[in-house]
Structure 1
């Protein structure tokens, strides 16, 4: 085959195809677990051809992060001067849904960006938030317009974090209703909810194994699992690095234990909250309040469990995925009791929207754990569920 014929068969949008495939692989496998060979195979090219477009995996990863934010910024910037909030949110939803499989790298994987690249990403996304905040303030004025805008975008972005299959038009309708529910929610809808939540306490480390786990969780949360070494964990506990192996076969087993602990604490919190509910709507609010309280109180543990599960081997993932499914099934059941108009898939999609609200609103509040913050985020979650 001549050079001319090879060039003729090479798609002109190959770089775009690479970025799309890479975004999906990074979202599903995590930055460190993904390989250039795997990405090249997904595009249908050789690794050598991939390196002609990107010099290394990090350069490709940074490009993926930039592309999605640029798409969101573009639809916001291109909106007409007389566009309504509904118009802008609908445009954001369509972009997010269209690139659903590759958008998930933002929520957790972006922490692996270098400082300058992370700052650029934050600035670009901040511009999107500012534009939405302005429209929220104009159409639904209140002091917390910024928080409501961030939470609404969290509800929309949640669709990148799960695989629930629904017709695209219905997804767009549900996400728009959820985002508007967040924006128009009564701030007093969950007042006092924080006071009614009784969370299980995180176990006090009384053994060496428990001490290792307690020391590892904040390190994983701060630096990312792949960047933490057994030497760092051992130093935090006051052990020689070799002593770690007496308690855990490897670092990945510490991560699995952290994720299992998170799942157990959350299951206990849910059980306690539902016992106090008097009717279906109260049950959903109680469930939301418990999830919010758990997320604030055990933030490091939660972020590790959510961010790092994709990096676990299949045998260690299995019990965690089962626990996740059981938790979501509780939400689905309670939400459908409160809203009989929803089918199971629609209820699951809205449940994930509520989770997205907690993540983004919690970050916006810097996870400062106060009763007022818990109540505010609980109200935003109930808005996202449109109950």
Structure 2
């Protein structure tokens, strides 16, 4: 019998072949993790995940009954990847510094391997149900305790609170490659970020104030209804998420009728977009202010860090929303916001390379992103460290020398809060 020729491929046959991957479930999970990491939980549609995975919507539903099932498994998978990474590092009581570096290198490697999905760590706890949240949190706590234990053996001069804080900052540093898209070979990223995280082990942190509570807020609130709406909306978005808050909720918080909201903003999305641009503008203005008060690259770096920390500490709701709700901004606006963020990072990096000419521009961007990530993560803790301590860690990362985190980074009269890191308990 004469063999029949293989029929030529058509768009239909290509589509059928593309929609039948052998590892369909894994492909769906990878596509979902990328989408959730980039856009947030609520902004992602199942149809978008199905298209990205190359499967039909009915095929996706055969594996996952709903979006939450997909989200919870992606979060658990990310936690498992981190646990597997550190689980391969042997306990070494006699050489704690080697163990500590090994743990940080392993987590850096996991972050590099999950650069397009690791952004989940910023906000997964906001959406996970109790059992899933506990599963992820147990892994995070176990890792924190192991890193902290190795740190305290390697650097016994740190007290418990300082070790807790430094451990949290180290973890934020090694996670930072998953929060941006600057490009370097994986080996260079690993060496740079692991070394930066390890440098925090020698950070000289300012002594925390004796008071264990934040000082009462000072200053006056704006009277402009538009500003009041923005302020109250950010508080609600941070506490409940963008999708859960209604226009009526915002109106009540601002002591306005619902119709009064629409005199200033055409929609809830317009409020979010305005708040995002307000945040972006403040970060951009901060750079100009820092440079205007500086006469050397080193002074510029100190001013940039301390001003950014102060901004984050006094605008925690806005920064929290900026991190977790970016996916609810229109794609074009999202692109513009991220472009402005890149410009700001490049400005920081330019001054860093002037102070440290041994760094390439790309390496400097990685360190700047790490310092920004540490600031955001530490200011979102329920027991926030003092601004002086956060600044000291940021300056240690950027300037690299032990004396950079001391007097330059903190004023004795700055307002302080209670110190400590809740995951270290």
Q: TM-score range by the shorter chain?
A: 0.7 to 0.9
TM-score by length of 1: 0.88
The 3-state SS of whatever aligns with 1:205 is: coil
Q: Is 2:163 the counterpart of 1:153?
A: no
Cα distance between partner residues in 2 of 1:109 and 1:226? 15
Q: Is 2:260 the counterpart of 1:243?
A: yes
| Higher-RCO chain (CA-CA 8 Å, sequence separation at least 6) | 1
Query: Residue 147 of structure 2 aligns with which residue?
Result: 132
Where do 1:306-345 residues align within 5 Å?
Answer: 306-345=323-362
Tell me which of 78, 85, 92 is aligned to 1:68.
Answer: 78
1:199-244 deviations in whole A, cap 9, x for unaligned?
A: xx99943222222112101001111112211111011122232332
Q: 1:243 to 1:364 in 2, by over 3 A?
A: closer
Q: Is 2:62 the counterpart of 1:45?
A: no
Q: 1:64 to 1:167 in 2, by over 3 A?
A: same
Q: Is 2:189 the counterpart of 1:171?
A: yes
Where do 1:296-307 residues align within 5 Å?
Answer: 296-307=313-324
How many pairs were matched up? 368
Q: 1:64 to 1:267 in 2, by over 3 A?
A: same
Query: Residue 387 of structure 2 aligns with which residue?
Result: 374
- Name the larger-Rg structure: 2
Query: Residue 244 of structure 2 aligns with which residue?
Result: 227
- Maintained 8 Å contact 1:205/1:214: no
- Maintained 8 Å contact 1:299/1:367: no
Cα distance between partner residues in 2 of 1:219 and 1:120? 27
- Maintained 8 Å contact 2:122/2:323: no
Cα distance between partner residues in 2 of 1:375 and 1:287? 13
TM-score by length of 2: 0.80
Q: 1:363 to 1:130 in 2, by over 3 A?
A: farther
1:270-304 deviations in whole A, cap 9, x for unaligned?
A: 33233333432232122111111111111111122
The 3-state SS of whatever aligns with 2:122 is: coil
Query: Residue 56 of structure 1 aligns with which residue?
Result: 66
Q: 1:169 to 1:220 in 2, by over 3 A?
A: same
Give the drift of 1:73.
1.5
Cα distance between partner residues in 1 of 2:205 and 2:265? 46
Give the drift of 1:10.
5.7
- Maintained 8 Å contact 2:39/2:326: no
- Maintained 8 Å contact 1:154/1:357: yes
- Maintained 8 Å contact 1:69/1:125: yes
- Maintained 8 Å contact 1:150/1:364: no
Give the drift of 1:11.
5.2
- Maintained 8 Å contact 2:108/2:194: yes
Cα distance between partner residues in 2 of 1:206 and 1:365? 29
Structure 2 unmatched runs, 5+: 1-15, 93-97, 210-217, 401-425
Give the drift of 1:264.
2.5
Give the drift of 1:306.
2.7
Whose helix proportion is higher, 1 or 2? 1
RMSD of aligned Cα (Å) = 2.5
Cα distance between partner residues in 2 of 1:185 and 1:112? 34
The 3-state SS of whatever aligns with 2:90 is: coil
Give the drift of 1:365.
6.0
